[in-house]
Amino acid sequence: MSDEKAARYIRGAAIIAGGSGGVGRAIARKLAASGSDVIVTYNRNRDSADAAVTELQAQGRKALAVQLDLRDAEAVAAAYGVAAREFGGVHTAVYAAGPYIDMRHVSRLPPGLFEKTVSTDVFGAYNFLQAALPQLREHRGAMVALGTPAIRRAALRDVMSAAPKAAIEAVIRAIAAEEGRFGVRANLVGVGVITDGMYHQLVATGDFTDAYFEATRKVLALQRLGSADDIANAVDFFASDASGFITGQSLMVDGGYAL
């Protein structure tokens, strides 16, 4: 790690909502490799969160796992209090959480399930990002939310992914417009079809089939699926000074799906 790369992270830590998941852990590893201490939050998967902390500590970084229900605004605020006490605050906030997406056509999607899925994702993201602002202002820091290319190109049976992520993109753009005067940057990374994260569960439920993958590859400019590391690289870029004049943007890391 170069001195230049480490210099950005002299104070504070990165906090990753959903840092115990496959994509969240890849982001944590990447930010740690760039010189950042890391807080990972988890809802139920404590074993994975603890494993992530062990992995980050092996990289020579200070790391902590915090159990958190993102729908509880007071608990989210308390987590940022922990960050201030233990790490001196937060310089980067990454929203990499979200509920499992049950893929259904709108005609077969009960309103109650739609409401539960969308509200969990949107309000969880809002609570997490809004609570980050005081510390990000102090550090002139960055926030990154994960989204989906489905907000640019409609996909069948994917409304429960696209709808909340479209709302989260709107929140990111609002924060970018309002908080730039304090030096805070806010961007979104669209997660294409990758072989990590929810991938394995979607394969197990039959939502991702061989026919689905074949059809997906045909519409990807790069003709291949991505990985969690592809997403982590984009998040690391937005967290770094290399993107210091970029805010309010949505970068689709999708192999060219949303062209």
Query: Which domains occur in the chain, in start order?
Result: 3-253 (3.40.50.720)
Across residues 231-252, what is the average pLDDT?
A: 98
Flag the least confident range among 88-92, 199-203, 215-219: 199-203
Identify the pLDDT of residue 1.
41
**Residues 69, 42: contact at Cβ < 8 Å?**
no
Q: How many C-beta atoms surround the C-beta of residue 170 within 10 A?
A: 12
Identify the pLDDT of residue 203.
55
Flag the least confident range among 25-29, 99-103, 170-174, 184-188: 99-103
Identify the pLDDT of residue 86.
97
Q: How many C-beta atoms surround the C-beta of residue 221 within 10 A?
A: 11
Cα–Cα dist 20/56, whole Å: 12
Residue 120 pLDDT > 70, yes or no? yes
User: Strand, helix or coil at 165?
Assistant: helix
**Single-letter residue type at 45:** N
Residue 90: pLDDT band with limits 50, 70, 90? very high
Residue 75 pLDDT > 70, yes or no? yes
Identify the pLDDT of residue 121.
97
Residue 246 pLDDT > 80, yes or no? yes
Task: Tell me the two tokens of residue 146.
Answer: 């994960």
Residue 82 pLDDT > 50, yes or no? yes
Across residues 234-253, what is the average pLDDT?
A: 98
Flag the least confident range among 27-41, 81-95, 195-209: 195-209
List pLDDT tens digits, range 124-166. Answer: 999 999 999 999 999 999 999 999 999 999 988 999 999 999 9
Q: Share the mean pLDDT of the chain.
A: 92
Identify the pLDDT of residue 2.
46
Cα–Cα dist 142/14, whole Å: 9
Q: Exposed, middle or buried, 104 (CB in 10 Å: 0-12/13-18/19+)?
A: middle
Residue 175 pLDDT > 90, yes or no? yes
Identify the pLDDT of residue 143.
98
Identify the pLDDT of residue 101.
86
Identify the pLDDT of residue 200.
55
Across residues 237-243, what is the average pLDDT?
A: 97
List pLDDT tens digits, range 203-221. Answer: 556 656 676 667 777 889 9
Query: Does the predicted TM-score (pTM) go above 0.85?
Result: yes
